[in-house]
Every structure is written in C-alpha cells, then in structure tokens.
Chains A and B, each alone.
Chain A
C-alpha cells in the first residue's frame, strides 16, 4: 500500500506565513481587527488595575483618614454638644493626628480690605470659626504668615487667616505690614494666607477666625462639627470612640461620618469597573474575530484553485483545514502581540499623562497574545471547514 501523505508542523507554519506574505496588505488589515481587540483588552484591563490602584492611593491618603463628627440636635437653642476642651479630648485619642472644631458664622456681614462704606460695603465671603486644630486637620499650607494658635483662641484675638481665594477677592497678596480686613465693620488682623488644603476646599474661599474670637464677636455658633485627621487605618476606631470621648454621658448626641471600609470599596470598584471593561474588551475581540473570519472566508473562496491544487498534490482535508487554521491563528497571534504592545503603551501613556502609577498584571499581559491567537483560531474554524468541503475536481476547473 502507498504510505499516507503527511504535513509537518514546520510546513504548516511555513505555508501559513507564505500565504500571509503573498497578500501583505490584506494580512495587515486582518491583523488590525485582532490588534484593536487585544489592544482594547489589555488597555481596559490595564487601566482598570491602574485606576483601582489610584483610587486606593487617594482613598488611603485622604479619605481613609478623615472622620467628621456632627451634633445630632436639631434644636438651635439646645446649645452646642461639644465641650470647651473638645479639641484636646479628640486629639488625645489613639490614632488621631489632629482635630478641630469649626462652624460657619451666620451673618457676619461683608468683608472688606478697607473700612466699608455705603458705596463699598465689601465682599460677601464665608467666615469660618475654627479651633486651631482645624487648620492642621485640613492640611492647610500657607503662602505667607502663620496660622492662629490656642493663645489667639483663648484670648479672643481679632486675627484672621484668609484662604487664597478670599485673599484674592479682597486684594490682599502679602501680609508683611499686617493688613486688616473688616468683617461686618470690625477690623481683624490678617496673620496668614492659606495657599492650599487637602480637605474642606471651601476654606480657600473663606476667612477663618479663631473659635473663641468668633464666639465673643458673634455668639455661640450653630452647626458645629469636628474634623479629625487620623492615622491610616484608624478612622473606623476613632469614629467609634469620638462620641464617647466628647460626651461620655450622652454619646448619642453625635453622629460620626467615617470612610467606608477600604477593602469593601476597592472590591466594589474592582467588580463594577472590571465587569464593564471586560464586556467592552470582549466586544472588541468579537469584532476582531468577525474580521478575521470574514477575511479568511474570502481568502478561502478566492483560493479555491489553490485548494484544488493542494488536494491534487496529496493534501488531505485535514491538511487543508490545518493550513487555513494556521493562517488565521498566526494572523491572530501577530495581532495579539502587536495589540498587547499597543495596549501596554496606551496604559503607560494614560498613566503618564494623568500622573498615575501604571499597574499591569502579568496575568493580563502575558496571555494576551495567546488570546489573539485563540481568537484567530476560533475565527478560522468556519472558513477552514468550508475549505475542506471543496471538491478538488470542481476547484481545479476554475
């Protein structure tokens, strides 16, 4: 009997490469589909990881270390629930870096850099009353001067620290000559200008006066809150302890707003973004696969004569199938390799532009070219099957 015909693996690869090189333009366009799919796949997964990391970083740095304590009493004449030494009590808690009370002064009058007149009554800016710890808790950074301290607070000194936005509105840019601002007609010495803060950004558009001074000038405040800056990981515990520390006999007077558990938040973000982006990536890959399937099918129909020739030369149906599957798989692999590179580059570029740290999981990047190859193989299944159904006698007649 005559030995069976065979097709070695190297021959399969050689023939696939030769088939692609015979039509480089078409091969390039076919690769483009998978390339875009895999690039989208790697990009969205890479960006998901990067954004997760970014959220985690910001969350850890700021949100996770912030606790807000509010008085739950809704009666204005009930008096403040916070004791006089509230700042000291809160600061004494383990895990607290700084804490301070603050409230917005109701109707303090307009602010002006000169004594207000009927023609120039001044600017309507927010006036915050705050204990000294508040400015530390919001991470106030000064462009000039200093912040007030417990002495200013206790002695009801008429001093004010301006946020950069408020200072700009009042035309005060430097304080070497101790300029004064008039709040409701009462002069206050400007001792510092806040350049930036990490929390309570509204402070930048406000004038901040010591809490004791504000009480002396405008009476006890309403809506008093305590802002606590904690160590990383201490927020939950500080939030539990703060009401007891402030008012052991009546802790229910307070509600605390603590950040959600970072692990839960992160998992939530991961799940939501991951599902969305994976769906997008899958759609991209599907489009790429349809592109390959379409092009390979067209190639099969165009190369009917070649298929007939190969069959006449001894190729079995499975050899013809292997030939077209190898072509589509190789196209997918090339698209996968280039797409992975493009995806990685895109993640790094976005991260660079947004000043993030790019994070790419090896489990995402390394199998991506294989995902491309697999896409190509799956896309080539139907065209390859069609190729095997072509009868050599019919094919050679064309």
Chain B
C-alpha cells in the first residue's frame, strides 16, 4: 500500500479580517510526498508565514482541505491538532527558540515531555539524536553559550527527537554566517537523504536551491 502524501493542500485559503482585510493565501494546492525536500520561497509579505503556520497546524485555514499524513485536519479538535503537531511535525525556527538557561540535553528532551515518552528513555533518545547532528561533545553545555551553528543543530535535534514525518524549517539559516549556514543545510540534506520529508520556507534562493523542488509564493498565490 502506498503511503499517503505527508502534506496535502487542496484549495486552502486563509484571510485576516483586518482592517484592512487581507487574503493571505488563495486556494493553495500543494502535495509533498514522503521523502521529498521541498522549498517554498517568496519575498516578504508574500504569505510565507501564513503558509508555514497552516502547514505546522499553528493556525486554521478558512477554507479548503489540509491533510497531514492522510489525516484531514479541518475537523480535528484543538487537542487532536496539538497532538498531531507534537508527534508528526518537527519545527526548526530562524531564531532557534532554545531555552538559554538549560543544557543542550534538556532542550532536546523538552520535545519528549509532552509525547508520553517515559523519563528513562528520554535521555537515551536525546543523546542518540544529538549524536546524529554531531553534538555529543556539547551535551551539557548551556544553550546560551552555543554558537549560532551549534544552536541551530540543537534545534534540529529537538525537531527530530520525536521521529516526525515532516521537518518544517522556517528560514533555518537566516541567523547564521555562511559557513554555519552551509553546515546546517548539509545536515538537513543528510536527514532528507535518510528518508525524512523536509519542507523549508525561505526567501533565499540559494538556500531554496538545495531542495529537490521549489515552490514560489507571491501575493498569497502558490505556484
């Protein structure tokens, strides 16, 4: 049996009442299959953030159908959407969103406390994931003491630790110098090569070029 698409957008629309009223996304259609690496590019104000929030189940569309792993998200209650988000989507943000006062290990384990992973297994899972992103030597360092590249790799480890279906990246290299940006993109590429589906939102065409497929969003239209 063929696995369903990880992301399936069909005529998804999102408007904001304003004032002034804004239609941020117009009947967007998109399909991301398992193992794909897709980038969504567009200038500022094009609707990238709206698209990302909808894919990440952080916002609800006004119309259309959005299926994640074949599950229609429109009819889901808040708690079910939260569960789907926590278990199936790994987020990587431009500003890392690490808890600066906590260790690298604690930051990664944070993703496991809501998903019913027992306490003993959490450390093993987090260490295994940190090994995957090459950070075993910084396990007990405070997140606030990390370099930008290290911080983003911790954020990627946190996104991966729950074994998500989709890695959703929002400008993952936006706060990094070119060397660290290249390293992070290489890591994301490796993760995709190992079978992880990646959807990356960026305004940087070079970054978008790393993806297998690139989608342009402009004035709320997805092409």
Contacts and interface: CB of A to CB of B under 8 A. Distances in A.
* A and B associate in one complex: yes
- Interface size classification for chain A: 20 to 34
A396 B58 contact: yes
B114 A5 contact: yes
Interface string A287-328: 000000000000000000110111111111101000000000
Nearest to B89: A312
Contacts of A23: 101
Given A5-B82, A10-B119, A311-B82, A15 B113 contact: yes
B81 to A, nearest CB: 10
B14 to A, nearest CB: 11
Given A11-B113, A22-B102, A309-B97, A1 B58 contact: no
B203 interface: no
Interface in A76-99: none
A11 B102 CA distance: 15
Contacts of B158: 313
Interface in B117-163: 119, 158
Interface in B65-94: 71, 78-80, 82-88, 91, 93
Contacts of B59: 391, 393
A3 interface: yes
A383 to B, nearest CB: 19
Nearest to A398: B95
A6 B102 CA distance: 22
B183 interface: no
Contact of B99 (A22, A319, A397): A22
Given A5-B116, A396-B58, A314 B97 contact: no
Given A3-B116, A18-B102, A393-B53, A312 B78 contact: no
Contacts of A22: 99, 101-102
Given A4-B79, A6-B116, A396-B93, A18 B86 contact: no
A305 B113 contact: no
Contacts of B56: 312
Contacts of B113: 7-8, 11, 15
Contact of B80 (A2, A308, A313): A2
Given A2-B84, A312-B58, A306 B114 contact: no
B102 A314 contact: no
Contacts of A319: 114
A392 interface: yes
Nearest to B98: A309
Contact of B83 (A2, A309, A391, A396): A2
A46 B95 CA distance: 53
Contacts of B114: 5-7, 310, 313-315, 319
Given A2-B80, A18-B102, A314 B119 contact: no
B205 interface: no
A143 B104 CA distance: 80
A23 B79 CA distance: 31
Contact of B88 (A2, A308, A317, A391): A2
Contacts of B58: 311-312, 391-393, 396
Which are the 4 A-B pairs with shortest beta-carbon distances?
A314-B86, A22-B101, A314-B114, A393-B58
Interface of B: 49, 53, 56, 58-59, 71, 78-80, 82-88, 91, 93, 95, 97, 99, 101-102, 106, 110-111, 113-116, 119, 158
